[in-house]
Amino acid sequence: MLNMDFTQKVILNTHTLQWQPSPSGGVSRKPLAREDAERGHATSIVRYEPGARFNRHEHPLGEEILVLTGVFSDENGDYGPGMYLRNPPGSGHAPFSEEGCTLLVKLHQFDQADRETVRIDTSSAEWRAGHGGLQVMPLHAFEHEHVALVKWPARERFQPHRHFGGEEILVLSGEFCDEYGRYPAGTWMRSPHLSQHHPFVDEETVIWVKTGHLPVTHPS
């Protein structure tokens, strides 16, 4: 197992992690959290070399993808940079990439009742006004779980706050900061239930953020 204690804060610079091979040739990954080698809960940065293909497979508890670079494809379509995808529990596909791509991929983390298929092109979707100078692009919500992109203007300061159900962030551009450190583009962070911080930025910064999805009780 890797980073499966959800009571602990995890901070990883994905740019410095080593690529690891997957069962499919031409597809490699950087595991961020993993329950088992090839099944169960997993969060990874995944890279498809040009022309790489993955055999058809099912998603018993769903699959969530953010396309970071290149074009990701399956039998249902082609998804360029910034595409946000949710494939619900019980879905399946045979993915590939003709030109190559890198992805944030989260597997086996849906509630069984969360059955919505989502396809959002974040490169063209509308930003909404958030707190202060923040701009927010909602991507998905189910019960306590909320997923969005958040754009921080330069020199923005946000109020101190606590995360019920935790928080997970991938810094897409710029540099995200709080009283504990500075997190450049490519940083993945997961903070536990009831964690708190006082975030700010010095330069314009965009983050992918998910809240409310982590366990709210300690494992027995």
Task: Report pLDDT digits (tens) over 176-210.
Answer: 999 999 999 999 999 999 999 999 999 999 999 99
User: Confidence class of residue 8 from pLDDT cuts 50, 70 and 90?
Assistant: very high
Q: SS3 of 171, please?
A: strand
Amino acid at 62: G
Mean pLDDT over all residues of the chain?
Answer: 95
Cα angle value 27/29/30 (rounded, 5°)? 170
Q: Is 32 helix (H, G, I), strand (E, B) or coil?
A: strand
Does position 31 have pLDDT exceeding 50, yes or no? yes
- The percentage of the chain sitting over the pLDDT mark of 70, rounded to a whole number, equals 99
Please tell me whether residue 14 adopts helix, strand or coil conformation: helix
Which residue ranges form the domains of the chain, and what is each CATH number? 16-120 (2.60.120.10), 126-211 (2.60.120.10)
> Rounded distance, CA 55 to CA 106, Å?
18
Q: Is the pLDDT of residue 220 over 50?
A: no
Task: Give Cβ neighbours of residue 189 (< 8 Å, ≥ 6 apart).
Answer: 9, 10, 11, 12, 167, 168, 169, 170, 171, 183
Token pair of 79 as six digits: 């998804």
- What is the per-residue burial (b if ≥16 Cβ within 10 Å, else e) of 91-106? bebebbbeebbbbbbb
Alpha-carbon distance of 178 to 159, in angstroms, equals 11
Q: How far is CA 161 from CA 7, 198, 199, in A?
A: 18, 7, 9
Angle at the Cα of 104 from the Cα atoms of 102 and 108, rounded to 5 degrees: 135
pLDDT digits (tens, 9 = 90+) for 51-75: 999 989 899 999 999 999 999 999 9
Q: How confident is the model at residue 40 (pLDDT cuts 50, 70, 90)?
A: confident
Mean pLDDT of 113-120: 97
Q: Running DSSP on this structure, what letter comes out for residue 200? A: B
Q: Which tens digits make up the pLDDT trace of 143-187?
A: 999 999 999 999 999 999 999 999 999 999 999 999 999 999 999
Beta-carbon neighbour count of residue 79 at 10 Å?
Answer: 23
pLDDT at 219 over 80: no
pLDDT at 218: 57
Q: Is 94 helix (H, G, I), strand (E, B) or coil?
A: coil
